[in-house]
Amino acid sequence: MSSRTLSYGKCFLCGETLAKSAVGRHLAKCVPAHEKVGRGRPARLFHLRVEGRYAPAYWLHLEIPASATLLDLDDFLRAIWLECCDHLSAFTIRNVRYERDTGMVDAMWKDIFGSPWPIASMKVKLHQVLSVGDRFTHEYDYGTTTELQLKVISERMGFAPKGEIRLLARNYAPDLRCEVCGRPAEVLYVFEYPYESYCEEHGLEKHGDEGLMPIVNSPRVGVCGYTGPFDESLRFEERIPVGKG
């Protein structure tokens, strides 16, 4: 998807539809307005923005305890956007690479090419390696890689269930259309690039069932064996409401 495409999304706190450029300002007011006071002391929380490094129309805003680990964040990103075949993954923060080796076949890429950065474990806590304003990257799958760009937008003291990552907002599913009939597209033909989008009927008519993959709301759409989250509660295929944006 072109980086020039104007992207809209939904605030999961109040339900409002927002342009991507307005989300940060909106959440600065909406998050404290929807604070749920819990038991015990408030915790230090980071507000993160995550987007496809080369597909920025796909984006998430998250709130995560600063005491959580990079491994916790990696688990969440895999669950909501990435996981297909238990591939390796890595964050790069200030020229240090924090790797997760699942022991799968793409470990060979790490062994062949190596890393220009020092290597560390993802078991480190976020507050030990990140501060407000920091930008960093995430890679999933060293063979057919999906790259993400992250930024620490802000931090605050607030209440959150222990260890929980809260989804604050995310993009609506892109309005891809069938190249034959113009109806909403359901599948991509991935044996040619750029990918071709079709409704299921015309996709099967033109290509059979070879090379067709379901369209899902993720920067990993059409890559490897990715068909969306295993946890149905993490799926969000809603399109922008008519008349909005």
The predicted-structure confidence for 195-208, as pLDDT tens digits, reads as follows 999 999 999 999 99
**Has residue 153 been placed in a domain?**
yes
SS3 179: coil
Token pair recorded at residue 18: 């927002």
pLDDT at 218: 98
Q: Is the pLDDT of residue 1 over 50?
A: no
> Same structural domain for residues 59 and 154?
yes
CA distance 164 to 170: 17
Average pLDDT over residues 121-133: 97
Token pair recorded at residue 137: 């990257």
- Contacting residues for 3 by C-beta, under 8 A, at least 6 apart: 54, 55, 56, 57
pLDDT at 105: 64
pLDDT at 163: 61
SS3 139: strand
Range of the domain at 205: 187-216
Average pLDDT over residues 12-24: 97
pLDDT at 226: 96
Q: Given 136, 171, 206, which residue is the final one in a domain?
A: 171
> Same structural domain for residues 61 and 148?
yes
| Count of structural domains within the chain | 2
More confident residue, 8 or 36: 8
Q: Is the pLDDT of residue 215 over 70?
A: yes
